[in-house]
Structure 1
Amino acid sequence: MNENQKLDTRTTAEPGSDEHDGAGPAHAQAEYAEVPSALLTASMLREALPGALRKLDPRALAATPVMLIVEIGAVATAVLSIIDPSTLGWAVTVWLWLTVLFGTLAESVAEGRGKAQAASLRALQTETTARRLTGRDRRRLADQPTEEVASTSLRAGDLVLVAAGERVPGDGDVVEGVASVDESAVTGESAPVIRESGGDRSAVTGGTTVLSDRIVVRITSDPGQSFVDRMIGLVEGSQRQRTPNELALNVLLGTLTAVFVAVCISLYFVADYSDAHQSLLVLTALLVCLIPTTIGALLSAIGIAGMDRLVRRNVLAMSGRAVEAAGDVDVLLLDKTGTITYGNRQASELHTISGVERHELLEAALLASLADETPEGRSIVTLIEEETGQHVSVPDGATLVEFSASTRMSGIDVSGRRVRKGAAGAACGWVEETGGAQSDEIHAAVEQVASSGGTPLVVAEQVDGSPARLLGVVHLKDVVKDGMRERFDQMRAMGLRTVMITGDNAVTAKAIAEEAGVDDFLAEATPEDKLALIRKEQHGGRMVAMCGDGTNDAPALAQADVGVAMNTGTTAAKEAGNMVDLDSDPTKLIDVVEIGKQLLITRGALTTFSVANDVAKYFAILPAMFVVAFPGLDVLNVMRLSSPQSAIVSAVVFNALVIVALIPLALRGVRYRPAAAEVLLRRNLLVYGVGGLITPFVGIKVLDLLVSLVPGL
């Protein structure tokens, strides 16, 4: 592996590690992920409490109709308790207020988990001095005169020079040079990465540090609109929009609330007509226990926590909609270059022909590559220097022939010797122009490299004006990132179909696809082809996710339901996608899909639990309300509660405490396991449906035994 590869190697979590919820064995008695000790601590609750109190403002609660109704009920019972004080009245009032507070606390805790990350990101925004280019000569930007300005005064389009040891003053693209950059402040990775002009690894983020060389950066964002600014807003939750699923569930909860309000109003008159008069206090307690307060209180926290889990995996989601859509993805499209492979073709081996010593080929290929500043050229130099153990510099008096698109060759002229390296057609044509002969061995080697999916480069030399001769072939290949096949196997187990998209010919594409382990590939793909494929899949009713890092991927990233741009990619790609992977690991989409499915499953599980545990509360309160007027209803008092008053208080207290008990689950999420939809539904009903029925019966009975000890109840 050459140096560039080493710099871009990313560590991925192994299956079954803490980085993959659901990858390991399930807990024998719980269907949700084990909650780590740091998930919900006393200090987190203390920090979240002020925000929870602020959210008690009715204007803030208006977005959650269920909790707004509970707050109105708390105000009403407080007024009634002041007018007619009683132990029952004050007990119900206190616990109704706590119910509202616990609901706002859940959302505040979820939001607070992102604020610590936002604080660390703000450290990147310290104002720095930037060297802005003032010259107009574009031939050599790094040599142009500069002026020192504050980084906050930079505007999109400005060119700045950044040298080793200096911070990048703002988001931008490298337009000249190549450098090693420390992005640990953004990605958390300690290993530096290479950023260079003219490729799909040109984007740099403001606040990162250049470790070596110097680069010229074109600023792409105005102050306050940088990538870090967007990250801060998103992790704090200020820009989190409710997803369609969440909005639909809110409508359902609002409708149920309205129905139960009508039911409770009707019960007042029914009870009055049947001489089983009920106070507004009791009816309010009944209403709060009837409406789905549990899921209503936790709904926002579930959505915020889903985005937060992505951020903790170094994936920035631009909207909650993208997280939710990830849970329904069927097809995954991955751009080959920089996504499945390391992004640059790397020299892997050299093939000599008869009559040529290996050391001759190594020396000639090395000399011909000294002027080649492309990643491919640098990889040839690295490969040969590693094999020979020697570092070669440009000989004195040598004339370098830089690679160009017109000649498709690079080389060197020194001491009467001309060495060239380039595309097979170009190099062989140069040999013929000098009177040299072709070689069947060369053509066979070229064909062998091409048929294996690699790119052949031919090396030739001419000495003292004599006819040039062919020396051998350099094999360039796209290097597939480590662990790709295993990760694609995981995707297949999750029901995802993977498709590799590349501009390479079908032979090369097939070889890379087989090595990586993808299900299908699209070769010689243009941006229009990528768009057409995504639209075809979408018209077939499938949800499509796309990974990419280049400007040519931007249209497809924008069209896909989930567009994950690599942080190493271009600014255009990152702006087109609705997610950015800070680690630039395409297989991270497994984590994205798992978290999306976790979000949907968690919401469904807690909704099931909320509805199911309401049934137990009905058995507690309804018999207590009417048993005096209708003694026959005592048969419904299956929990054998002590008194009507203790039954009402116990149900209200349980209704509040269950919210607190479920906050860790809402934050962590229900464990996701790859399985068919019917299996997941059955597990949901058995665990959270049956569990939601049994738990309240036990909890309310225990609370009743305690409440019955309080005088006056």
Structure 2
Amino acid sequence: MKKKLKLNIKGMHCRSCEVVTKEELAALPGVSDINVSFQKQLAVLTLDQSKNSLTEVIEAVKRAGYEALQEESVGTEANKSTAGAKVTRSSVPVKIESRVEAQGRVFLNDHGEPFFDGKISKFQKSEYQQSFGNGEVKNFMSKLSGSLDNAPLFNPLPSQDNVLSNKPDQIPAKKSQIPEISTPAETPDIRKRVSLSLSGMHCSSCAQLIERSLKKVDGVSSANVNFAAEKALVDFDSNQATVENLIKAVENSGYKASQIDQKDTEFETRKRQEETRMLFSKFISSLILSLPLLYFMLFDFFPGAIGKLFFNPYVGVLSFILSTPVQFVLGYGFYKGMWSALRMKTFNMDSLIAIGTSAAYFYSAFNYLSYFSLTGTLLGPVIEKIPELYFETSAFLITFVLLGKWLELRAKGKTSDAIKKLMGLQPKTARVIRNGNTVDIPLDQVVKGDILLVRPGEKIPVDGKIIRGSSSVDESMITGESIPVEKNSGDNVVGATINKMGSFEFEATRVGSETTLAQIIRLIEEAQGSKAPIQAFADRISAWFVPAVIIIAIGTFLVWYLIFGASLSFALMAFTAVIVIACPCALGLATPTALMVGTGKGAEHGILIKGGEPLEKICRITTIIFDKTGTLTNGKPIVTDIESYTETGEAQILEIAASLEKSSEHPLAEAIVGFAREKDMLMKNVENFKAIPGHGVTGTIKGETYYMGNRKLMTDVAKVELGQLHDKLIRLENMGKTAMLLADKNQILGAIAVADTVKETSREAIDQLKKRNIEVYMITGDNERTAQAIADQVGITNILAEVLPEDKANEVKKLQDKKQIVAMVGDGINDAPALAQADLGIAMGSGTDVAMETGGIVIVKNDLRDVVTAINLSHDTMSKIKQNMFFALFYNIVGIPVAARAFAFMGLVLKPELAGLAMALSSISVVTNSLTLKYFRPGKRNYLSLIAPLAMLILFSIIFGGFAKISSSMAFE
């Protein structure tokens, strides 16, 4: 009898945890259809109860080092007595320079090198405390400052005892097999990250206010609020805080928040459309109420205006009636925002608008009521207006601000077009085969294990593996390659790619937030929600900007009224103009809008930039180090030569070598094993297999110990001499081939030469980097002659050869010690320590196996020209950010003195309502300038982006001058 089981598994932190657990379960008889997700902490499998039991399944999970609970019985007494027993992961205490103490497990990665999977339990000043997995090892490594002398997990020659292979049959069944293992009680990973959608923000000060409120919540370790994206990214301890606590903190600050539902891909679009409609409605309502006030204002400039004599006595009462709802109903949001800021003991843009409009409105209301108390009538004198009323100033000020906010919101919506395009790639429904029937269901109802049918021309709904049929699939949305890829039974397919030819059935392996597309979208969203280091400059200015403006406005009023003896109305209008023209909005939008467009544009070209810091850093790189295998080369080596140096035949050498290498996943090993399989050779059973990183492998076949690897393995481990073979090896290496030697305990039996081909685009990419005056290095574990042959093909003169994996980070550090800003480009697994040590790690990904957890930048298409594209995109984006900051600062530096009427002696003044419109236009200009990045194309100049800043500067100067001219003609004393 077969039964579907769901197990909650605690303690998994990364893909490696997922693999280890799955392999342990797969080794059990009667267990099939296994799907393990470390994100969901869940395993789904089918159990044949006639061959195995639930207890054995849970024990298998325990052997992998995790805690398992059957989902249906979580929390029950029966479950507590069987599956609920607390288990802990095996851990290796690590101390480094007395600063770090870590506990975890050491595994062999795909290249036979050790990597660490565990958690740091102590760090100096508690600077870094969190659990992490293989993907996050680079963060751990970066904290070690390159000192790894006492770390057993990075021993160049780890023994079989202290390294756990990632093979099921090599993972110790008992913890006692690992020496010096401590097993402290481990608590489940309680760190959570949540994205909140925010509404009600009007400027960067609002974002800072929300950020401070979130950080005050107990258990929140970090909070990052993006004003342009209207999102908050919060990391918190789920034992101390909940999402509801976070939302409440935002609401207590005077804003609205809701958790983003990853399944609802159209939520943000709907929210943005709703906000845009609401803001447009407010603007239209305010405009309708304000237009009559504009008509009344024209009476002062056109003596023969139609209706002037009739309406003049009614101007006061009508202005009061029309402006009041504008001030307190349509402008209510500004008062609400100001009150929220005051409660947090700060000021924001709402404060400026509320203070400015209130000054004009209440001054006018005071004069109007004073007139009423003196005359006893609400109407003005016959054919005359009541003097000193400026209701139109407050009404138009709010109208223009609402107009500016509506235009700004529309422009900001375009900055996230990249995510919208990616979301639009997903089909809405999927065709699922259930109980023999084919039914169409909504995409979010697809679960792992479902069998789906895809017909020609249709989009593949989710990630999966083909079980019947074949076709060609357009994977250009992931890889950028326009040529369809042939797919047959057993091949993986990616959700949102397009089926071109035949029909096929496939089993869903990753659904919802686990699909490749969903992970790319998540990566972009987090990148767009992050802050670039340059943003700190804008934040510092914004922090004191509003209080400084209020002080300047008060000073302006006092100087004009008390020192220069101007009229109260003149001084008050100067005060109001200063208040409303100065706004931190433009400064707050300068960085995030450019960052959003830049990261989105990168994603369109297969460059996943993980935040503002990598984007800012890559354009400052002075040195780039490329790993050889899989980065400069295709990473698919082939066997070119087999040489025998004894009576052992070439076929036997290949047979022994392939048997040894079948347990290794190194690319060179795969080449040898693949070549042997092409020859239909049967692999022999190998005992005592051991992978020695940077050297090779060793094992016993039928009682005879063999060694397969490089010269160092022969001389240091096998203890055999090369003798006259040295010249033969040099001959092979000079042709760019890697010679791997096979030896027994007595002598070297033969050699197998393997060669890798250089990528077609490598030379072009290197040449372009050199044109940018960037020093280019190649780093490899190969000998110097083989490395030189490859380097010559791609045009690299700086070669770091015969470097062991654990020494790559030291080579990076040597360059950093020379004051170089270093980027490391590698596959993201073998090069993790070096990627971490480098100022910027660039991981080469591939289609469905994007190394999203390694490196600050991921190159999806495995095309080195994209490294150059990333540098160019970074340069353009940083230029935009600096231009935007210039616009924001220039606007305020010029606008505030004009608004303060410092040039009134030249006849240059600025009416408050026009000052408000100028303020809105400044924010729009910043967003528009950022949007020109959308026209970025690899290898081509973005002329619109180059021309835009100058064009906007000229246009803004003309508009600003026009406003000042209009205001001067309307000046009053």
| Contact 1:234-1:240 at 8 Å conserved across structures | no
Partner of 2:783: 505
Alignment-derived partner of residue 200 in structure 2: none
Please say if residues 102 and 659 of structure 1, whose CA atoms lie closer than 8 Å, have aligned partners that are also in contact: no
Give the alignment partner of residue 307 of structure 1, picking from 596, 599, 602. Answer: 599
Matches within 5 A, 1:541-560: 541-549=819-827, 551-560=829-838
Where does residue 334 of structure 1 map in the other structure? 626
AA in 2 matched with 1:119: G
Cα separation, partners in 2 of 1:578 and 1:218, compared to 1, 3 Å: farther
1:576 aligns with 2:871: no
> Is this contact kept in 2: 1:557–1:573, CA < 8 A?
no
Contact kept in structure 2, 1:115 and 1:236, CA below 8 Å: no
User: In the alignment, which residue of structure 2 is the partner of 1:263?
Assistant: 552
Distance 1:230 1:329, change over 3 A: same
SS in 1 for 2:830: helix
1:612 touches 1:693 (CA, 8 Å); kept in 2? no
Report if aligned partners of 1:530, 1:556 keep a CA contact under 8 Å in 2: yes
Query: Do the aligned residues in 1 keep the contact of 2:824 with 2:842 (CA within 8 Å)?
Result: yes
Which residue is equivalent to 2:733?
A: 450
The answer to whether the aligner puts 1:110 opposite 2:402 as a matched pair is no
Cα drift, residue 508 of structure 1: 0.9
The Cα offsets for residues 9-41 of structure 1, whole Å up to 9 and x where unpaired, read as xxxxxxxxxxxxxxxxxxxxxxxxxxxxxxxxx
Q: Once the two structures are aligned, what percentage of the paired residues are identical?
A: 22
Deviation by residue 1:201-254 (Cα, 9 ceiling, x = unmatched) = x99866669999x9x9997x8963554333223444687222232133221233
Corresponding residue number in structure 2 for 1:147:
none
Q: Which runs of 5+ in 1 are unaligned?
A: 1-43, 131-149, 155-159, 197-201, 352-360, 384-391, 409-421, 426-439, 459-469, 628-632, 674-683
**1:360-391: per-residue Cα shift (whole Å, max 9, x none)?**
x9x999999999999889999999xxxxxxxx
Contact 1:335 1:501 in 2 (8 A): yes
The equivalent residue for 1:240 is 529
Measured against aligned partners, the alpha-carbon deviations of 1:297-349 in whole angstroms (never above 9, x if no partner) come to 44321221221121122112232222222232222222211111111224679
CA offset at residue 456 of structure 1? 5.9
Matched residue type, 1:275:
G
Q: Deviations over 1:512-569 (max 9, x none)?
A: 1222123522222233212222334445544332222252123333443332222229
* 1:701 and 2:961 aligned: yes
- In the TM superposition, what are the counterparts of 1:610-625 in structure 2 within 5 Å? 610-618=888-896, 620-623=898-901
Q: 1:88 aligns with which of 393, 397, 408?
A: 393
State the 1:49 CA deviation. Answer: 5.5
Is 1:483 matched with 2:761? yes
* CA–CA distance in structure 1, aligned partners of residues 764 and 734 of structure 2: 25
1:574 to 1:522, Cα distance in 2 relative to 1, 3 A = farther
Counterpart-to-counterpart distance in 1, 2:681 and 2:398: 89
Give the letter aligned to residue 555 of structure 2.
S
Matches within 5 A, 1:353-502: 447-455=730-738, 476-502=754-780
Q: What is the CA–CA distance in structure 2 between the aligned matches of 1:267 and 1:344, rounded to whole Å?
A: 72
Is residue 345–residue 478 contact of structure 1 (8 Å, CA) maintained in 2? yes
Residues 816, 822 of structure 2: 8 Å contact kept: yes
SS at structure 2 position matched to 1:495: coil
Amino acid at match of 1:232: I
For the residue of structure 1 that corresponds to 2:634, the secondary structure is strand
Q: Secondary structure at the match of 2:513?
A: coil
- Counterpart contact for 1:78–1:90, Cα < 8 Å: no
Report the Cα distance in structure 2 between the residues aligned to 1:237 and 1:77, rounded to whole angstroms. 41
- 1:654 maps to a residue whose letter is A
The code of the aligned residue for 2:855 comes to G
Q: 1:316 aligns with which of 605, 608, 612?
A: 608
Are 2:402 and 1:97 equivalent residues in the alignment? yes
Residue identity opposite 1:534 in structure 2: V
Alpha-carbon distance, 1:108 to partner: 2.9
Structure 1: distance between partners of 2:732 and 2:874: 42
Distance 1:324 1:381 in 2: 44
Deviation at 1:477, TM superposition (A): 2.8
Contact 2:888 2:922 in 1 (8 A): no
Q: Distance in 1 between matches of 2:591 and 2:272?
A: 17
User: Quick one: distance in 2 between partners of 1:115 and 1:341?
Assistant: 35
Q: Kindly report which structure 2 residues correspond to 1:525-536, keeping only aligned pairs within 5 A, or say none.
A: 525-536=803-814
Distance 2:776 2:841 in 1: 14
CA distance in structure 2 between the partners assigned to 1:284 and 1:309 by the alignment: 41
Separation of aligned partners in 1, 2:863 and 2:402: 46
Report the CA distance between 1:666 and its aligned residue: 0.9
Structure 1 stretch displaced more, 284-293 or 160-169: 160-169
Partner of 1:253: 542
Q: Post-superposition shift, 1:89?
A: 3.4
Distance in 1, matches of 2:871 and 2:782, equals 28
Read off the aligned partner of 2:513 and give its amino acid letter. G
1:118 alignment partner AA: M
Kept in 1, the 8 Å contact 2:357–2:393? The answer is no
Distance verdict in 2 for CA 1:447–1:659, change over 3 Å: same
| Alignment partner, residue 798 of structure 2 | 520
Distance apart, 1:95 and its partner CA: 1.9
Q: Distance in 2 between matches of 1:299 and 1:81?
A: 38
Among 555, 565, 584, the alignment partner of 1:275 is: 565
Deviation string, structure 1 residues 80-122 (Cα, Å, up to 9, x no partner): 59945533333333223333444444433313442222232x4
Question: What is the letter of the counterpart of residue 560 of structure 1?
Answer: A
Distance 2:514 2:674 in 1: 40
Matches of 1:206 and 1:45, distance apart in 2: 22
2:933 is the counterpart of 1:663 = no
Query: 1:75 and 1:238 mapped to 2: Cα distance?
Result: 38
Q: Among 547, 570, 579, which residue is 1:287 paired with?
A: 579
Structure 2 distance, partners of 1:129, 1:552, is: 41
Superposed displacement of residue 578, structure 1: 2.7
Deviations for 1:436-492, whole angstroms, at most 9, x for unmatched residues? xxxx9x99776433223224699xxxxxxxxxxx9x999753211113223212212
The answer (yes or no) to whether the contact 1:203–1:571 under 8 Å persists in 2 is no
Contact 1:306 1:596 in 2 (8 A): yes
Determine whether 1:152 maps to 2:447.
yes
The two structures have a TM-score, normalised by structure 2, of 0.46
Report Cα offsets for 1:651-702 as digits up to 9, x if no partner.
44334334334433212349999xxxxxxxxxx9x996x9887654432233
Aligned pair in 2 of structure 1 residues 489, 692: CA closer, same or farther (>3 Å)?
Answer: same
* 1:10 alignment counterpart: none
Change beyond 3 A, Cα 1:74–1:532: farther
Which structure 2 residue ranges, 5 or more long, are not aligned? 1-267, 280-332, 366-388, 435-444, 644-649, 691-695, 698-707, 712-723, 742-748, 938-945
Say whether the 8 Å CA contact 2:778–2:791 is kept in structure 1. Answer: yes
Whose relative contact order is higher, 1 or 2, with alpha carbons under 8 Å and at least 6 apart?
Answer: 1
Alignment CA distance shift 1:169-1:332 (3 Å): same
SS in 2 for 1:552: coil
Whole-angstrom distance in 2 between the partners of 1:290 and 1:114 = 33
Q: In the comparison of the two structures, how many residue pairs are matched?
A: 549
CA distance 1:187–1:601, shift in 2 (3 Å): same
Aligned 8 A contact 1:117 1:235 in 2:
no
